[in-house]
C-alpha cells in the first residue's frame, strides 16, 4: 500500500507541474521492463492465455471478453459483465496502447501490465477463480500449456508470475501508431482534414491538452480530479459522484474523485464514456468534460470540430490471429 500511495503522490505532483507539450506521434514499439523482455514465445503464450475462458471459474469469461481486440479494446458496455452475469461499477478501459500507461485500472491500483493481469482472474465479479493456485493447477493439467510455458520460460515454469508476464508481453504488442494524426505530426499535412486541424487547435486552445497530453493523450500517466466543478446538475443522469475513484484504493479523503487520465487514442471506438460508462456519445462526452473540467460551454460547431479531431486518433490495429487454444480431449473443467 505504501508503494501505491508513493506512486500516486508522485504522479499527481508531476501532473500539476506539466503543461501541454508539443504534439507527439505514438511510438511504433512499446517499452518492456528489464525483468520481462518481449519474446515471440511469450507473446504467443500470452495471446492464448488472454483469449482462454478457462481462466475463469465458469469457463465463459476471458480477458478478451471485456477487452476485445477485434473492436476498440474494450466491450462497449457501460459496465463489463463477468461470471454468472455479474457486472461491476466501471467501464472497461481499452487495452489498446495500455503499454504506455504508467499505472493500470481507472484508479491506478496496478503499477504495471503484469500486476494488472493478475487482478481480474481472481476477482469474484470478473473471472471468479478462487485463487491463483487454482489457475496454476488448471493450466498444469493442460498438455498444450506445459509445452507453451516451456518454450517461453523453460521447464516447470507454469506459475502466476510467468502467466502474468506472458499476458503483459502480448498486451505490449497491442499498439496503434500510424493514425491520421500521427501522419500529420510526422509531416504529412494532408493527413488531416481542415475540420480536424480546426478541432485540433480548438482542443489545445480550450485546455483539453493540459490533461490529455503526450503521445497517448493520457497526460503521461497522471491522475486528475473529475469532476473539478459542481456536477450537481449532471448527477441524476450520469451519477458521476458515486464512485470515489483513487480514494477507493488509498482510503484518503483528499484522493476522492481522482482518476487516471484515460487515453484518447481510438476514443471514437470506445463508447460509452467516462469511468462508469454513463455517457453514450462522444459529442456528449466532449461537452461534459469541457463544462465540468474547464468551465467552458461549447457551441455545436466547436464540439463537432473537436470530435472530428478525436476521430483522427484512431490508428490501424496490428494484424492478429485468434489463437488455437490448447485442448483438453475427453474432459472439461466446467461443471
Q: Flag whether 11 is in a domain.
A: no
**What pLDDT score was predicted for residue 171?**
98
Residues 300, 227 share a domain:
yes
**What pLDDT score was predicted for residue 6?**
39
Mean pLDDT of 272-284: 98
Residues 250, 142 share a domain:
no
Helix axes 160-171, 132-140, angle to 10 degrees: 80
Q: Flag whether 213 is in a domain.
A: yes
Residues 76, 132 share a domain:
yes
The residue among 281, 286, 289 whose CA lies nearest residue 303 is 286
**What pLDDT score was predicted for residue 327?**
92
| CATH number of the domain residue 151 falls in | 1.10.760.10
Residues 157, 189 share a domain:
no
Residue 126 known to be catalytic: yes
Mean predicted lDDT score pLDDT of the chain: 93
Q: Flag whether 332 is in a domain.
A: no
Range of the domain at 101: 31-171
CA dihedral 249, 255, 260, 261 (to 10 degrees): 170
149, 43 Cβ separation under 8 angstroms: no
Residues 159, 255 share a domain:
no
Task: Name the catalytic one among 74, 114, 126, 171.
Answer: 126
Residues 167, 41 share a domain:
yes
Residues 184, 115 share a domain:
no
**Cα separations (Å) of 69 from 66, 94, 202, 322?**
9, 9, 31, 10
pLDDT at 315 over 70: yes
Q: Flag whether 4 is in a domain.
A: no
Residues 40, 154 share a domain:
yes
Residues 275, 163 share a domain:
no
Grid coordinates standing for 2? 505504501
pTM exceeds 0.85 for this model: yes
At 134, give phi and psi (nearest 5°).
-65, -40
Cα(59)–Cα(134) distance, integer angstroms: 13
Residue-wise pLDDT for 236-250, tens only, equals: 999 999 999 999 999
Q: Flag whether 153 is in a domain.
A: yes
Q: Flag whether 13 is in a domain.
A: no
Residues 155, 45 share a domain:
yes
**Cα separations (Å) of 118 from 46, 79, 102, 193?**
13, 20, 17, 42
Q: Flag whether 317 is in a domain.
A: no
Query: Looking at the 3D structure of the chain, how many domains does it have?
Result: 2
Residue-wise pLDDT for 80-96, tens only, equals: 999 999 999 999 999 99
- The alpha helices in 31-125, defined as continuous H runs, are 40-51, 63-66, 113-122
**pLDDT tier for residue 335 given thresholds of 50, 70 and 90:** low
Question: Facing residues of 259 across strands?
Answer: 224
Residues 241, 148 share a domain:
no
Mean pLDDT of 264-290: 98
Residue-wise pLDDT for 20-66, tens only, equals: 448 999 999 999 999 999 999 999 999 999 999 999 999 999 999 99
Amino acid at each position: 500500500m505504501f508503494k501505491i500511495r508513493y506512486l500516486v503522490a508522485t504522479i499527481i505532483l508531476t501532473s500539476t507541474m506539466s503543461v501541454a507539450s508539443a504534439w507527439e506521434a505514438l511510438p511504433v514499439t512499446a517499452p518492456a521492463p528489464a525483468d520481462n523482455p518481449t519474446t515471440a514465445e511469450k507473446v504467443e503464450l500470452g495471446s492464448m492465455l488472454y483469449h482462454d475462458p478457462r481462466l475463469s471459474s465458469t469457463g465463459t469469461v476471458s480477458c478478451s471478453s471485456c477487452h476485445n481486440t477485434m473492436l476498440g479494446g474494450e466491450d462497449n458496455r457501460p459496465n463489463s459483465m463477468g461470471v454468472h452475469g455479474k457486472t461491476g461499477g466501471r467501464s472497461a478501459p481499452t487495452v489498446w496502447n495500455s503499454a504506455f500507461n504508467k499505472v493500470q485500472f481507472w484508479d491506478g491500483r496496478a503499477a504495471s501490465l503484469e500486476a494488472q493481469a493478475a487482478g481480474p482472474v481472481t476477482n469474484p465479479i470478473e473471472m471468479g477463480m478462487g485463487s491463483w493456485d487454482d489457475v496454476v493447477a488448471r493450466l498444469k493439467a493442460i498438455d498444450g500449456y506445459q509445452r507453451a510455458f516451456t518454450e517461453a520460460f523453460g521447464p516447470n515454469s507454469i506459475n502466476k508470475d510467468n502467466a502474468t508476464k506472458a499476458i503483459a508481453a502480448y498486451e505490449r504488442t497491442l499498439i496503434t501508431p500510424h493514425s491520421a494524426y500521427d501522419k500529420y505530426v510526422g509531416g504529412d499535412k494532408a493527413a488531416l482534414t481542415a475540420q480536424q486541424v480546426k478541432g485540433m487547435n480548438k482542443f489545445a486552445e480550450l485546455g483539453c491538452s493540459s490533461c490529455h497530453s503526450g503521445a497517448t493523450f493520457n497526460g503521461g500517466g497522471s491522475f486528475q480530479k473529475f469532476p473539478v466543478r459542481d456536477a450537481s446538475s449532471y448527477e441524476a443522469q450520469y451519477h458521476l459522484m458515486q464512485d470515489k475513484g483513487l480514494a477507493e484504493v488509498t482510503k484518503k479523503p483528499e484522493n476522492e474523485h481522482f482518476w487516471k487520465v484515460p487515453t484518447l487514442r481510438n476514443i471514437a471506438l470506445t463508447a460509452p464514456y467516462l469511468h462508469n460508462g454513463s455517457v453514450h456519445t462522444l459529442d456528449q462526452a466532449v461537452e461534459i468534460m469541457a463544462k465540468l473540467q474547464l468551465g467552458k460551454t461549447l457551441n455545436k460547431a466547436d464540439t463537432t470540430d473537436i470530435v472530428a479531431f478525436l476521430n483522427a486518433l484512431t490508428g490501424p490495429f496490428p494484424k492478429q490471429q485468434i489463437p488455437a487454444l490448447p485442448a483438453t480431449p475427453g474432459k472439461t473443467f466446467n461443471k
